[in-house]
Structure 1
Amino acid sequence: MAVGSPDQAARRSALDEPTRSPGGRWLTSWTLGHFAFFMVMFAAAQVVLPRQAESISPDHKETVVSVVTLVAALVTIVVNVLVGAYSDRTLAARGRRQIWVLFGAVVTIVGLVAQGYQNTVVGMVVIWALVQVGLSSISAALTAALPDEVPVTERARASSLWGIASAAGPLIGIALVSTVFAGVVSAYLALAVFTVFMVLPFALFTRGVPLQVSERPTTSFRAILAGTLTPLRHADFAWAWTGRFFIQLSNALAQVYLWFYLRDRIGVDPDEWTLYLVVLYTAGAVVAAILGGRWSDRTGRRKMLVVVSSVLQGVAAIFYLASPTTWAAIIGSLLLGIGFGCYAAVDQALITQVLPRAEDRGKDLGVINIANNLPYVFAGALGGAALSLFGRDDLGYPVLYALSLITALIAALTVQPIKSVR
């Protein structure tokens, strides 16, 4: 029997604000879907793709990975907006989002299986772009399901579960493909199997309130394209987008070059110490997300945790900047994790409270999700420029972490003008 919101019968429209909790089973399947997304994304991007690139083009592996990552980022941006928009217009009896999660799961599974057998650079780029179509569809539809089914007073709880998935998913995925499934083919097949068991429960066993024909927005591609930037005209939405961009950029700047920082500046085994620090980061993020989500739902306050998050991420950057030692890295990683956990506890809740129109929830959340993806493109470019201009042994890393500090402080400032959220 499908799991759905208890108030579906009482709600006259899929565009109404939900008033009752969708229940633990719905939240569990929703969280598992996000867990699979983060596990597959980070395990493949940080371990399996580099391993595959080295086997295909050992002399140009960094270039191959950068091209694969850039194309994937562009695909992700487009798919998030399109899937969000078309799911807003879906008339399926099971609800607007479930069919798109199912579509994404099927594409992801097929793509992961095919990715393991690619032995050319072109094949890697094309098939990984296909995987991104699937993963982005899953993420876009799951994100849009939150304001559809979860009341405002419970969204920080759901956001904290998303935060746990975003922190623990990469750690578990990386550990599995680094130790248990160490081959390229076996790693991709394992990730495909995990996708089946973690994503399909939401796609097949939950229900949303179906959209009626009379409620359906204009469906032309031109209308969707024209409306992509429309929500940014709303001040609260624009400030929330900007805040997410800068807090994600700060976090990305602190992490993207961590492996090289450990090797070049501290002089320790980067593989071993990256694992240690990721464990600390994850532990801090999970605890902070749980506690922060409960506090936010109880008080109704969201912006305070964003400010706390920004400050903690900035302090973490100071530790990396000022003292290239293992102890400073330990403290910095723990603070960075706690800071991200504080943000994750309210991120989904805050964003869903600044959406301009119920009819365009999915599309507008797709626009918001761009602020999740662009920072990693910018972080790679800014970090590479800092290290190239100032050197790995001189000012390169201090400049890199100074940028992380500055962007964290900007994030704290950009959340303040939001008026519709406390």
Structure 2
Amino acid sequence: MTALSPVPPRATAAPVSPWVLSAFWFGTAFHWLVILLSLVPANVVHFVGEARKGTFVGLLTVIGAVMALVIPPLVGAHSDRHGRRLPYLRLGVGVNLAGLVVMALAVSTLAGTAGFWVYVAGFLLVQFGNNFATAPYSALIPQLVPAAQRGRYSGAMGMLQAAGQLLGAVGALVVSLLHLPDAALYALVGAALLLPALVTIRGVGPVDGTVQAPAQQAPSPGSPSATEAAASAKESDSWLSLFSHQPFLWVFVTRALFALGQYSVQPFLQFYNRDVLGQGDPVRSNLFMLACIIVASIVSALIGGRLSDRVGRKPVIYAAGTTMAGAALLLLAAPSFGVALALAVVFGLGFGAFTSVDWALGSDAMPSERSFARDMGIWHVAFVAPQFIGGPQGALLDWGNAQGGNLGYTLVFGLAALFFVLGVVLVRRVPETRPGPA
């Protein structure tokens, strides 16, 4: 007898607390906020100077995006075949931590272009390890959580991500105020990644084995059930077939548009604080702005997730995307740092609502239980592939600013708003099925 592909059992009640299940997202949120929005911009200036900062930050973003684009689908498919998630999380976190050490050593001991490429090598290790860990881990929400509870779990995940970002901003601010070396901040990032990972590994461990059901006896050849099983397996094995599944296609497209909006602005906020708002300490003022965004997103994340279980995912997305687009445009006209902080709060309310629904909408759109990790990995591409826009946006920023009048920021922020609006318009194409009662 031949065995069918392992099919995870459908959950009737989530066996793990949403806070335990999403703990690792807290660590990754802390990790990436500090690296991408505090350490990388400052470290790039250290290596290459002011004149080329936008181009090299964009280049680093693109290089990292290559890893984030390729790894999740491949590792996710491998995880589906083996039916386990946590071994990938353990190994990935180890590689990630090694990359942080390389980056810290490069900043502490090297300078110039040669030092920058050592720094890039460490950044690639960080990207590889983090994506290796998160691809299979991403499958746990659709796999373990019933559809009617996914909004609540997605909201908890969004709230933990926002809390991780907030504490990351606070931690970076404290290190700045104490005038500690960058190595201290890298050590803090490593600890903030490792400890939540251990919480998730320990909490999910007892149910990780339920990912793979015992092999079942195959139907007789030629029977209707055998034909259906073969067709299902063939469809599950085809990556391109995912995009013939309308819910997945439109969720992928709209998530990519929201990510394009985010990555059009995110790498350059620190520069915006200095060049547009005239802040003498752009690192510190950027952290204050991020704190406003994150606190507001915490407020809206849990509310948005629970609300989406009642009214559906798309109405929350409509409100969130419109809010973010408006705030991005108004930031260009902010007359003072105080007004910019108020607009950051508005943007954060939209961002928190979006993240609270994002994973629930994506989980609802998965076409097959046979390939949760692979499909979530491919869906994750919609979030990481837009990081490539950091390269052209960085070059556009430098070109526009060279024309005078901070034109570069007008172009970059304007494009971000356009992407958010397109995401709102096209999410209407998602054929959402509202979850039933839990």
Q: Give the TM-score, by structure 1 length.
A: 0.85
Q: d(CA) in 1 for partners of 2:356 and 2:349?
A: 10
Partner of 1:202: 200
Corresponding residue for 1:78?
70
Q: Runs of 5+ in structure 2 lacking a partner?
A: 1-5, 217-233
**Structure 2 match to 1:404:** 416
- 1:106-154 CA distances to partner (integer Å, 9 max, x unpaired)? 2222332343223433322222211211111222222111111111111
Displacement of 1:231 in angstroms is 1.0
* Residues in 2 aligned to 1:316 and 1:52: alpha-carbon distance in whole angstroms: 29
Distance 1:51 1:389 in 2: 21
2:426 aligns with 414
SS at match of 2:283: helix
In the alignment, is residue 371 of structure 1 matched against residue 363 of structure 2? no
Equivalent residue, structure 1, for 2:354: 343
Return the offset for 1:60: 7.9
Partner residue, 1:290: 302
How far apart are the structure 1 equivalents of 2:316 and 2:296? 15
Larger Rg: 1 or 2?
A: 2
Indicate the structure whose relative CO is greater, using CA pairs within 8 Å and at least 6 residues apart. 2
Task: Tell me the equivalent position of 1:139.
Answer: 134
Tell me the distance in 2 between the aligned counterparts of 1:82 and 1:131: 17
Q: Which residue of 1 aligns with 2:278?
A: 267
Match of 1:329 among 314, 337, 340: 340
How far apart are the structure 1 equivalents of 2:432 and 2:52?
47
In 2 relative to 1, CA 65–384 (structure 1 residues): closer, same or farther, beyond 3 Å? closer
Residues 296-315 of structure 1 aligned to structure 2 (within 5 Å): 296-297=308-309, 299-315=310-326
Alignment of 1:222-237 (within 5 A): 227-237=238-248
Check conservation: 1:316, 1:331, Cα contact below 8 A. no
Cα displacement (A) at 1:203: 2.1
TM-score, length-scaled by structure 2: 0.82
The answer for the alignment partner of 1:20 in structure 2 is 13
Q: How far apart, CA to CA, are the structure 2 residues paired with 1:286 and 1:59?
A: 34
- The alpha-carbon distance between structure 1 residues 335 and 191, as it changes in their structure 2 partners (threshold 3 A), is same
Deviation of 1:283 (Å): 1.3
Letter in 2 for 1:365: M
Matched residue, 1:128: 123
Shift in Å, 1:34: 0.6
Cα offset, 1:69, TM superposition:
2.8
Matched letter for residue 160 of structure 2: A
| Residue 69 of structure 1 pairs with residue 61 of structure 2 | yes
Tell me what 1:7 maps to. none
What residue number does 1:185 align with? 183
Aligned equivalent of 2:171: 176
**Rounded Cα–Cα distance in structure 2 between residues aligned with 1:49 and 1:260:** 12
Within 1, Cα distance between the matches of 2:58 and 2:407? 24
In structure 2, what is the equivalent of residue 103 of structure 1?
A: 91
Q: 1:392 deviation in Å?
A: 4.7
Q: 1:149 aligns with which of 133, 144, 151?
A: 144
Aligned length: 396
SS in 2 for 1:416: helix
Q: 1:267 to 1:123 in 2, by over 3 A?
A: closer
Aligned residues of 1:84 and 1:366 also touching (Cα < 8 A): yes
Match of residue 318, structure 1, among 315, 329, 339:
329
Q: Which deviates more from structure 2 when the two are superposed, residues 124-133 or residues 354-363?
A: 124-133
1:354 corresponding residue in structure 2: 365
- Secondary structure in 2 matching 1:85: helix
Kindly provide the CA deviation profile for residues 378-402 of structure 1, in whole angstroms up to 9, marking residues without a partner as x. 1552364255147351543333332
Give the AA of the match of 2:66.
Answer: L
Question: Identity across aligned pairs (percent)?
Answer: 24
Q: Alignment partner of 1:185: what SS?
A: helix
> How big is each residue's C-alpha offset from its partner over 1:309-346, in whole Å with a ceiling of 9 and x where there is no partner?
11101211231234443344223211211111111111
Give distance in 1, aligned partners of 2:332 and 2:431.
35
Trace 1:52-67 onto structure 2 (pairs within 5 A): 52-58=43-49, 62=53, 65-67=57-59
